[in-house]
Chains A and B, each alone.
Chain A
Amino acid sequence: MTLLDLRGLSVTRRNRPVLHGIGLAVRAGELVGLIGPNGAGKSSLMEAALGLIPFTGTSDLAALDPGHRARRAAYLPQSREIAWPVSVEDLVALGRIPWPGGGRSPADRAAIDAAIARMGLEGFRRRTALRLSGGEQARALIARALAQQTPLLIADEPVAGLDPAQQLACLRLFRALADEGHGILASIHDLGLAARFCTRLVLLAEGRVLADGPPDQVLQDALMRRAFGIITRRIDTPDGPAILPV
């Protein structure tokens, strides 16, 4: 089942073309890694797909009315903003805003409890989210997105700034979600992690999709040189490939 379908999507910001003619689909069961240099338009692609910024072309998500769309796709922005010292439980409960029930119905409670349990936040329920460490805040924000109970999750650099253990935990969770039938689109800078966990990679550079396919096919020398201007060394280990930029 296709959860996101972008066709001929172009974004222009301040008269500068950012993306041009993007075609991209995310199906259920896929963890799609969006890679590309800084400024390639990864965040713009996600925001346009959700209909948060003006674009031309088509996005099946952006065509939905906002309430319906919010029950189809959850979005984790790059900036992990928590404006007020709310409790972790109240923070996770924000994920229920698109659903009827005002955050208090049995379905809401069940979704919030499940999200908190899945992210291992039971011990933090009553803690103030702002007083948690960066990694714990990131987990609480992912729990918020899980509580939204959407088939599709769009995450902008979800592992940036996390320690190695948290990075692995986050990507393992995303992979598990994909295996359960969710679709996930996540931008990621660590090529090694992207190769290990993503079912598919999309390389974004020069304002368009340079490559789209299985990690081995996308992480080719020629493509890496063209997109990032670097050479990569690939070392295969029993735990998966290690990609070393040199």
Chain B
Amino acid sequence: MRALFAGLGLLVAALWLASLLTGPAGIAPAEAIAALVRGGEGPVPIVMTEIRLPRALLGLAVGAGLGLSGAAMQGYLRNPLAEPGLIGVSGMAALGAVIAIQTGLALSAPLALPVAALTGAALGVGLLVALAGPRGGSVTLILAGVAISALAGAGTALVLNLSPNPYAANEIVFWLMGSLADRSMQHLWLALPPMLSGAALIVSAGRGLDALTLGEGAAAAMGVSPAGLRWRLVAGVALIVGPATAVAGAIGFVGLVVPHLLRSRVGARPSALLPAAAMGGAALLLAADIAVRLILPERDLKLGVLTAIVGAPLFLHLIWKTRSGGRV
């Protein structure tokens, strides 16, 4: 297990570095690193610190957050098909962003779009708490999440439906596909604090998730408060996926596939899966973000499209294994 974490750590570090060194500007690696470390004037330091560094850091944070919250949702719901989007917060964040694009608010200030998305996410959490209540079980939570996701999807479709011209619709559709291109350090500073506090909440719930392996009754009898655990999980996941969607758009499959891929490597223990899935998520998203820049550099291939193309076959493999009687 130590070897797994060391390997994942090295992989994430290597991919992060590769992400810094990948881009259309074609800067030599040595020059790029020197510009980043020493700073200075000229185009190279500006490209490095204002384009590539935020992109690489956001890839790291968003990927880790999606992997971590996916592992947390699967552990809490005791279902390998759960994913962070299940509670509807990412859908509401996307709706907020789409409304900001539609109304032109997104153009008024650099952070108007992510702030609108965060507002949508907060509304989603409020709706979730109102629907699932303080005493509802995990089934109520899923149902409320599905209802909120449907509502957010309908809202997004309505905005697209009413968009005044094809360009606005185009912009919305492209934003929804998810991307880390052209993000600034401001995006990072907006997203990182809530994401870190969400991660802390989820990690603090690790032992409770382990106890849930035995069922809710046995876990409660071992001193794990079901309401406390649910609160931590919902708040933690919302604090991660809300900001992640706000800065990067909708990026699917990372939170679903990464915990599944790593589960057997950590002996299936939910608490051990949390850090592994965070590192795995970061590695997958950084790799995907490098790939979109290498495969079709001039066509602006969207990150969410690539993760879905990679993730869906893995998901099918999971269904295949379940169908053929193997345990997932």
Interface residue ranges, A against B (CB under 8 Å)? 47, 50, 52, 66-67, 69-70, 73-77, 79, 81-87, 90-91, 94-95, 97-98, 128, 130-131, 141, 144, 148, 154
Q: Are B218 and A75 in contact (CB under 8 A)?
A: yes
- For the complex of A and B, list the 7 residue pairs with the smallest distance between their C-beta atoms, beginning with the closest: A81-B215, A75-B221, A70-B223, A83-B78, A66-B223, A84-B268, A77-B217
- Contacts A83-B78, A97-B210, A98-B223 given; indicate if A90 touches B269 (C-beta within 8 A): yes
A154 to B222, CA, bound (A): 12
Q: Are B211 and A84 in contact (CB under 8 A)?
A: no
Q: Are A84 and B78 in contact (CB under 8 A)?
A: yes
Contacts of B148 in A (CB 8 A): none
Q: Mark B249-293, 1 if CB is under 8 A from A, else 0.
A: 000000000000001100111100000000000000000000000
Q: Which of A70, A73, A83, A85 contacts B264 (CB 8 A)?
A: A85
Q: Are B213 and A84 in contact (CB under 8 A)?
A: yes
Interface residue ranges, B against A (CB under 8 Å)? 78, 207, 210-215, 217-218, 220-225, 263-264, 267-270, 327
What distance in Å separates the Cβ of A138 from its nearest Cβ neighbour in chain B?
Answer: 13
Contacts of B221 in A (CB 8 A): 50, 52, 69-70, 73-75, 77, 154
Pick the most buried of B218, B220, B270: most chain A CB atoms within 10 A of its CB: B218
Main secondary structure of the interface of A (DSSP, over half): mixed
Q: Which of A69, A81, A84 contacts B218 (CB 8 A)?
A: A81
Contacts of B269 in A (CB 8 A): 84, 86, 90
- Count how many pairs of residues, one from A and one from B, have CB atoms less than 8 Å apart in the complex: 81
CB closest residue in chain A, given B328: A85
Contacts of A91 in B (CB 8 A): 213
CB closest residue in chain B, given A145: B218
What distance in Å separates the Cβ of B218 from its nearest Cβ neighbour in chain A?
Answer: 5
Q: Are B270 and A84 in contact (CB under 8 A)?
A: yes
A115 to B14, CA, bound (A): 44
What distance in Å separates the Cβ of A105 from its nearest Cβ neighbour in chain B?
Answer: 14
Contacts of A98 in B (CB 8 A): 222-223
Contacts of B223 in A (CB 8 A): 66-67, 69-70, 97-98
Contacts of A154 in B (CB 8 A): 221
Q: Are B222 and A77 in contact (CB under 8 A)?
A: no
Please give 10 more A-B residue pairs, beta carbons under 8 A apart, in addition to A75-B222, A81-B213, A94-B210: A75-B218, A77-B214, A79-B217, A83-B78, A84-B213, A86-B267, A86-B269, A97-B210, A97-B222, A98-B223
What distance in Å separates the Cβ of A216 from its nearest Cβ neighbour in chain B?
Answer: 32
A82 to B78, CA, bound (A): 10
A150 to B125, CA, bound (A): 40
A75 to B216, CA, bound (A): 12
- Contacts A66-B223, A70-B223, A98-B222 given; indicate if A85 touches B214 (C-beta within 8 A): no
Q: Which of A87, A130, A144, A148 contacts B327 (CB 8 A)?
A: A130
Q: Are A83 and B212 in contact (CB under 8 A)?
A: yes
Q: Are B327 and A85 in contact (CB under 8 A)?
A: yes
Q: Are A76 and B218 in contact (CB under 8 A)?
A: yes
What distance in Å separates the Cβ of B72 from its nearest Cβ neighbour in chain A?
Answer: 14
Q: Which of B207, B225, B263, B267 contacts A97 (CB 8 A)?
A: B207
Q: Are B211 and A97 in contact (CB under 8 A)?
A: yes
- Contacts A52-B221, A97-B224 given; indicate if A85 touches B268 (C-beta within 8 A): yes
Contacts of A69 in B (CB 8 A): 221, 223
What distance in Å separates the Cβ of A209 from its nearest Cβ neighbour in chain B?
Answer: 22
Q: Are A83 and B225 in contact (CB under 8 A)?
A: no
What distance in Å separates the Cβ of B277 from its nearest Cβ neighbour in chain A?
Answer: 13
A128 to B213, CA, bound (A): 13
Contacts of B217 in A (CB 8 A): 47, 52, 75, 77, 79
